[in-house]
Homo-oligomer: A and B are copies of this chain.
Amino acid sequence: MHLNIAVLEGDGIGPEVVAQSIKCLRSVEETFGHSFTFKKGLIGATAIKKTGTPLPDETLEICKNTDATLFGALGLPEFDDNPKAKVWPEQGLLKLRKELGLFANIRPVKVFPSLVKQSPLPKKSVKDTDLVIFRELSGGIYYGDKAVGNDQSSATDTCTYTEAEISRIAHLAFKSARSRKKKVTLVDKANVLETSRLWRRVVHSISESYPDVTLDCLFIDNAAVQMILNPSQFDVILTDNMFGDILSDQGSVIAGSIGLLPSASVGLEYAMFEPIHGSYPDAKGKNIANPVASILSMAMLLQHFKMDEESDAVVAAVLKSFSKKIVTPDIMGSSKYGTNYVGDFIADNIM
């Protein structure tokens, strides 16, 4: 198979981790006889510095004219600490998700048996964790109207959801549950928010078409507790953009490191694959960043194109790196292996 892949490295550790995924893709090419071509585009702080905008048109064109996008990470503290800034890196990612119509962000949280003891949570509650979060990605308070009062003394964000927006991601979640443990948990704040009440109505009614799947509803405050106390109770979690952002980062605690969790962002036309971690600028250039989240995101890309065998081979190589303890220091403090070495090991073991 031939694939054209857009590569948006972004900021901080983005380029370093994406480089390992590309290395692994080269290995997949060789082993399975595929051909991948890569086209790089600027995004985030790096793009702002070079072009003045966090998502240059050219980058968007590259993403639209390739088969899928591999995304690194973005953000720099100099922008976070400047509330008066007019442009900032995250706007690039938000615009990209919107323009590509990526309405579902799929975040699996799995505790790898050989890493169970890395989790700071009690072994018994994490060891059977195997959940996937379906986070709505192109609506809600992230994209609603925003306003600042004339005298800068007030500000407004708006959260709107339509039945159509809820419905399309709900169907994905229920379909996924069908091939899993047959349980969907809707996380919302229906005792306070009108949008949550719409989510409940729509999701309840969709659930009728999936009689083999159980539907549970949980308030976000309780869900945030349950994710820590008893994550193995979950199968598929379905939630909105903002709650999904919070819950899935929390999920990284279960897995033992935020450097492990991949995600796929999909829409009707396009798909993008991005680790859930940020740009971790303090680690940039130190060869300590964990490449696994990026590599597993790349494995989700392969799966997206029905290259199941290839995807499984990548995951197997990652598992081998765990069992051989070829891991970065976030996983094992005493480890002497760096980003590159771990990337090489995984690439070499794709077979």
Contact = CB atoms under 8 A, between A and B. Distances in A.
A80 B193 CA distance: 12
B194 A157 contact: yes
Nearest to A84: B201
Count copies of this chain in the complex.
2
A259 to B, nearest CB: 12
Interface stretch (A57-65, A250-258, A285-293): A250-258
A200 interface: yes
B158 A201 contact: no
Given A141-B193, A191-B80, A154 B250 contact: no
A90 B161 contact: no
Interface string A193-208: 1110110110010000
Interface string A66-103: 00000000010001110110001110001000000000
A88 B194 CA distance: 13
Contacts of A1: none
A249 interface: yes
Contacts of A125: 120
Contacts of A201: 83-84, 152
The 3 A-B residue pairs whose C-beta atoms are closest, nearest first, are: A83-B200, A155-B198, A221-B249
Interface of A: 75, 79-81, 83-84, 88-90, 94, 120-122, 125, 141-142, 144, 146-149, 152-164, 189-195, 197-198, 200-201, 204, 217, 219-222, 224-225, 228-229, 242, 245-250, 252-253, 258, 278
